[in-house]
Amino acid sequence: MSIHNSTINFNHIIMNTNLYQYILGIADNSLILGQRLGELCGHGPTLETDIACTNISLDLFGQVRSYYQYAAKVAGDGRTEDDIAMLRKERDYVNVLLVEQPNTNFAYTMARQFLFDVYHLLLLQDLQKSKDLTLSAIATKSIKEVSYHQRFSSDWIKRLGDGTPESNQKTQEAIDSLWTYTDELFHQTEADKAMVAEGIGVDVTALKTNYYTKVNAVLEAATLKIPESKYFQKGGKEGIHTEHLGYLLSELQYMQRTYPNMEW
Amino acid sequence: MILKSHLELSRIQFQVWFIFNLIHKFMATKNWPLWEIFVRSKNGLEHRHFGSLHAADAEMALENARDVYTRRNEGVSIWVVESINITASNPDHNGELFEPAQDKVYRHPTFYDLPDDVKHM
């Protein structure tokens, strides 16, 4: 084998590893948030909101399957979508810290959803323009669902913020405590940078201004205060998580770990 | 003595009033109003009653209807109306409302042949 050939192969492998990591960076957010919302099944504050939250969860899982099927294809080593979803260790999940935060109360659930949905929609709108046709197709398919998620969670933030003094106070508390996880959405990993350079990935740093403009507009309409804290948490994208993810994963992975390769 | 029983009476009255109000308030805030949901499954068809759900206002009723009734491409249009706005007939009056039509066959348009191309009649 000539040196020239082996260089090409080597570049090809790096490119695939980056693409694989890039896909996980998008998909893991939806998987973990979907699992969080799924926890509310049968525990929502009313029957209607219970169904709404689990529906959003199912939307996200649907998107996750498309991403993981593609990631399995890119990996090309016999891994399946289920292996990727269920059999990684905590440090191998690269979701942002925001989505793993617990359903402390309904205000927290909606604040987390709202802070993620605004970002998610902006990301997908740009991902549609990706040179990678599979990713752009998944984005196009997901956008209708995510537009609805954003409308749903924004409406709830306005209702709760502009509701009773108690709902206002609880929602303010949720926004204040989750605010610290918002900046991480706009951090770039090495895989992100490589994929942006290839015209495949979305430059998340460019979404930041637009994101805070949209979020602040809803918070103002909800008569909530825009948090002023400049201290932000990060780490999820590099696999360093808050203590909440371990518990979530042990529930998510329980069946596959206990009965390997089980199907239904 | 009269004064005392009077006081006692108004105290009981107040308690009853207070508890009644509490229950009323509790029930009012505990449950959102009920809404009836109508969905048009296809253009050209009428809106059909799909069921009912709770929501704080019309906007929320539409969103909840999306999640409860139209998740599987069932519709092209949704109407919501608060159940309290529906006036229902009294079942006791069923005789006068419905029976007179039964012995007058000419009131039923069954003597016409409809072409197959006319759908949804």
Structure tokens at B61: 């009723």
Residue A15 lies in a domain: yes
Give the span between the Cα atoms of B97 and B99, in whole angstroms.
6
Chain A residues close to B32, C-beta within 8 Å: 46
**Mean pLDDT, residues A41-48:** 88
pTM above 0.80? yes
Number of domains in chain A: 1
Res A23 pLDDT > 70: yes
Q: Of A45-49, A200-204, B36-40, which range is least confident?
A: A45-49
| Alpha carbons A168 and A258: distance in angstroms, whole number | 43
Q: How far apart are CA A103 and CA A34, in angstroms?
A: 12
- Dihedral angle, C-alpha A21, A26, A29, A32, nearest 10 °: -60
| Whether A48 and B56 lie within 8 Å, measured CB to CB | no
Range of the domain at A95: 3-258
pLDDT of res. A175: 98
Helix (H) / strand (E) element for A122: namely helix A106-127
A71-103 pLDDT, tens digit per residue, is: 999 999 999 999 999 999 999 999 999 999 999
Closest CA to B55 of B17, B84, B92, B26: B84
pLDDT of the residue at A264: 72
Task: Identify whether A139 is part of a domain.
Answer: yes
CATH superfamily of B32-86: Phenylacetic acid degradation B (3.10.20.520)
Average pLDDT of chain A to the nearest whole number:
93
Indicate the pLDDT class of residue B23, thresholds 50, 70 and 90: low
What is the rounded end-to-end Cα distance, in angstroms, of chain B?
78
Q: Is the pLDDT at B100 greater than 80, yes or no?
A: no
Contact call for A159 and B54, based on CB within 8 A: no
Which pLDDT belongs to residue B92?
A: 86
pLDDT band at A1 (very low <50, low <70, confident <90, very high): very low
pLDDT tier at B113, thresholds 50, 70, 90: confident
Mutate one of A40, A46, A50, A164 to test the B interface: name it (highest B CB count within 10 A): A46
* CA A126 to each of CA A151, A153, A188, A204, A251: distance values in angstroms, whole numbers, following the listed order: 19, 21, 15, 9, 33
**A263 domain-assigned:** no
Indicate the range of A114-118, A131-135, A204-208, B70-74 predicted with least confidence. Answer: B70-74
Domain-located, residue A49: yes
What does the domain layout of chain B look like in residue ranges?
1-30, 32-86
Rounded to a whole number of angstroms, the distance from the CA of A5 to the nearest CA of chain B is 51
Test A52 with B63 for CB contact under 8 angstroms.
yes
Residue A253 has pLDDT above 80, yes or no: yes
Q: In this structure, are residues A177 and A112 in contact, taking their beta carbons and an 8 Å threshold?
A: no
Amino acid letter at A109? T
Q: Which of A55, A151, A155 sits opposite B67 (nearest CB)?
A: A55
Q: What is the pLDDT of residue B13?
A: 63
Taking CB atoms and an 8 Å limit, are A55 and B60 in contact across chains? Answer: no
Average pLDDT, chain B: 78
**And the tokens for A106?**
């309904």
The CATH number of whichever domain residue A73 belongs to comes to 1.20.1260.10
